[in-house]
Amino acid sequence: MSNQNVRNAGFTSSGIREGSIASSMMSQEARASGGGVHSGGPTATLQEMGARGSTHSSGFTSSGISGGSQASHMMSQEAISHGGGVPRGGTTSTVQSI
């Protein structure tokens, strides 16, 4: 995953850009959860990366998720909480797609 992809999606060091994919994600996630965006969810995870200005060493790569990385830990935790699978539209799949 590149820093440019995260910025292009609207996750920036100054916050989520209005009218972007990021703002749409945030809105959808907030509606689905009853009004808030959860820490550790797709929007919060990507915004953290955008605010830092770096996706390096997160483990989300164009070749897939790197073993032993933050991304692999996220994927494992998400799979455990969903009974063994990583759901489409979940944190791991959303971040990996960007």
pLDDT 10s digits, 17-41: 999 989 988 898 888 888 888 887 7
Domain holding 40, by residue range, is 1-96
Provide the number of structural domains found in the chain: 1
SS3 content of the chain, % helix, strand, coil (to 5): 50, 10, 40
DSSP 8-class letter at 66 = P
- Cβ(75)–Cβ(61) below 8 Å: no
- Evaluate the CA torsion angle 14, 41, 31, 34 in order and state its sign: negative
d(CA 7, CA 24) in angstroms, rounded, equals: 14
Tens of pLDDT along 61-91?
A: 878 888 888 888 888 888 887 788 887 877 7
In this prediction, residue 58 has a pLDDT band, given cuts at 50, 70 and 90, of confident
